[in-house]
Structure 1
């Protein structure tokens, strides 16, 4: 008979998803302190979990259309200024109301605080806890191009770096931001590394860089008490993309000062880290396979998601920390027992060395368990092979414990 313990645990109303996330945020603050960095990035993004293939699961709502059923989540990932994930800062979960889905005109008339887009503000809880430690910059895609959101971040002593959306902002003179920036002179050209995305391979882009300052006027719908807002603009565009490839064009709006070329390039680099939260969602879906879990209710799945945050973050952290500090001991990421099992499997020996492998060596060995070949030109392993390798390592660890049980010291 199959064990019901996991179902009982996640069905327990005392297991609170929000409380689990609050605990993760507290651990995040401690890692931020350990980093002692001048800046921490809080990267936000939303995704949906589709359970249309499990129609018996209760508590679900519409997704992109009425035929798709599941729930939504909005996540905030803390990242160091050099691109190392530090943990999940926040996670909101909600189910859309089927009766209100698609009624765009009614959504437009609601106050900002009652709209789904208020998630961008709610994605920064306890911001003061971070701003007392370091400077906080929230990094978001075009959906967060909202005047009220900019105002809320500044009121919380934070900063924003947001990709602009066409038609969302106008200058004091009533000129669209994109139209205003189009006439700016090119101030630099350089090579930008683009990560692989669905439908686009990793590649290099030769881009033009423009930057400057604009004053935005408050939209008629907004009521922030801030009639104008002076922001810095960084415009990145690719004039000659490769055949068949979409040209890069990011118009970034930030509250941070951008008066030098180095500052402008820093904004672009930080925006590229937004890719990390997409990888977090990838691990939750393709690694943890949340959408394949049959826990029968949305509430159970919501609690499981909060637990999976730790697994997904740890894999991301392993991937990028190994690239930043490759010579560090692997014990910063693995227990001594995990490191021993990994060494024994890789070298096919039970004789363990006096010095355990570096973090870089350990990560490549774990990736090889997941099918990474490590050939010249393969680059560094990604989260997909690390996930598979990590599962293999845990299986090996179980076997190791059968033959190396802990010593029973009795009452000595």
Structure 2
């Protein structure tokens, strides 16, 4: 499995072939220059002007930019032949420092940095991973603001307490989790692929779990609420999850590696039936039935101060120790989407854009999302398949530059360079020291080194072709 930026965008349909050519060139330029502004990445006045015109073009929409990439993602998922992890998460895109940007939303609460509230967008993404943790692509993205949701339900007073409880799920901000779940299930059926939906505590919504059960889709969701369960205790009370788990026997104690540090965790497991929550008449969106789930409780035992504690809801098989450990393994892959958002915001500086309005910001952020995925894919794929030839991803000039750089850095590299060797050289260019105890290079050294490689390739191109 090899990927290129051009291959992710070359079949975009904007109704004008020139726009497709433009987005391929633009994405390639941005990919080669992490942290650079649009002008710096484009390299010339004409290219910069073309980029700004592309982002403001009325025929350019985020869904059109993503369409080709999503199709490729589905094909990669189908070819993998294993269940695919669909990991959802939301991140803020904050532009309060740029008040001239129009049509952005206002956060309901002020942050510690901005007393007047935060001006910007929310970006909800679903990232598709295979079971090895390699990101196959972005499966869906949604931009929204709290103002969008309030306008959709005719709400005027934004500070009215308890008003959110009076609306059904499809009128709430949290509906995005259900929307992405349904969209991913539809794609999975079309491409004959099985999906496991993975999410953190924000997705602990009864309607989300109920919809997953209704559509017979697999899920692993971290619990947020101490939910009520079916049944009655000896004293006639409804048992909660916390009490049930406290009475469950420990299944096993395992050691996990977290950021190079080994931690010990105790795992408990039980199967129970969740009781539907009571909703106000105006907030009901259908009949909610009890849901049978497996609960996997993971608690760190070698730390008393703020230990790791995951309480996971799942409908995956949990009949054996191996199956329970597989649920934990699946949830541990959730961190991938945090890495993806970090590349988008820190590596490619999506929040530094000074475009005129929301439409252009969304188009720009979508292009950057595909570029961020590519860098993340390169990083993870290079770890999983280090013996893959680097020439399948990096062109001839890039290989030449890497060979010269390897000699300068005193790294052994063959002319038939592998991807593992190439990424080590890239990481060294990005500041990775590669000492005995340093382990594998991190994501930050990869994107820094990628920019250094691009600059050296530009210099070689200028010397060779003038």
TM-score (norm 1): 0.89
In structure 2, which of residues 121, 130, 133 is the aligned counterpart of residue 83 of structure 1?
133
CA contact (8 A) 2:405 2:425 kept: no
- How many angstroms does 1:177 deviate by? 1.5
1:156 counterpart residue number? 215
User: Is it true that 1:59 corresponds to 2:106 in the alignment?
Assistant: no
Deviations, residues 272-318 of structure 1 (Å, cap 9, x unaligned): 11111011111111111011111121211110111011111111112
Alpha-carbon spacing, 1:41–1:370, altered in 2? closer, same or farther (3 Å): same
User: Is it true that 1:217 corresponds to 2:275 in the alignment?
Assistant: yes
Point out where structure 1 has 5 or more consecutive residues left out of the alignment: 196-201, 407-412
Aligned residues: 394
CA contact (8 A) 2:126 2:141 kept: yes
- Structure 2 CA distance for aligned equivalents of residues 310 and 160 of structure 1: 25
- How many angstroms does 1:26 deviate by? 0.9
In structure 2, which of residues 86, 92, 95 is the aligned counterpart of residue 42 of structure 1?
86
Structure (1 or 2) with the greater helix fraction = 2
Q: Which has the higher contact order (CA 8 A, sep 6+)?
A: 2
Paired residues for 1:184-199 under 5 Å: 184-195=248-259
In structure 1, which of residues 204, 228, 237 is the aligned counterpart of residue 290 of structure 2?
228
Paired residues for 1:80-229 under 5 Å: 80-97=130-147, 101-124=158-181, 125-131=183-189, 132-173=191-232, 174-195=238-259, 203-221=261-279, 224-229=286-291
- How many angstroms does 1:402 deviate by? 2.1
- Structure 2 CA distance for aligned equivalents of residues 178 and 338 of structure 1: 56
- How many angstroms does 1:323 deviate by? 1.6
Alpha-carbon spacing, 1:364–1:275, altered in 2? closer, same or farther (3 Å): same
Deviations, residues 84-132 of structure 1 (Å, cap 9, x unaligned): 1111111100122285544451111111111110110122314232244
- How many angstroms does 1:366 deviate by? 0.8
CA contact (8 A) 1:22 1:90 kept: no
User: Is it true that 1:372 corresponds to 2:432 in the alignment?
Assistant: yes
Paired residues for 1:250-399 under 5 Å: 250-347=310-407, 355-399=415-459
Deviations, residues 111-161 of structure 1 (Å, cap 9, x unaligned): 111111011012231423224433200100011011111122233342110
Point out where structure 2 has 5 or more consecutive residues left out of the alignment: 1-43, 111-115, 151-155, 233-237
In structure 1, which of residues 222, 230, 238 is the aligned counterpart of residue 300 of structure 2?
238
Moved more, 46-55 or 320-329: 320-329
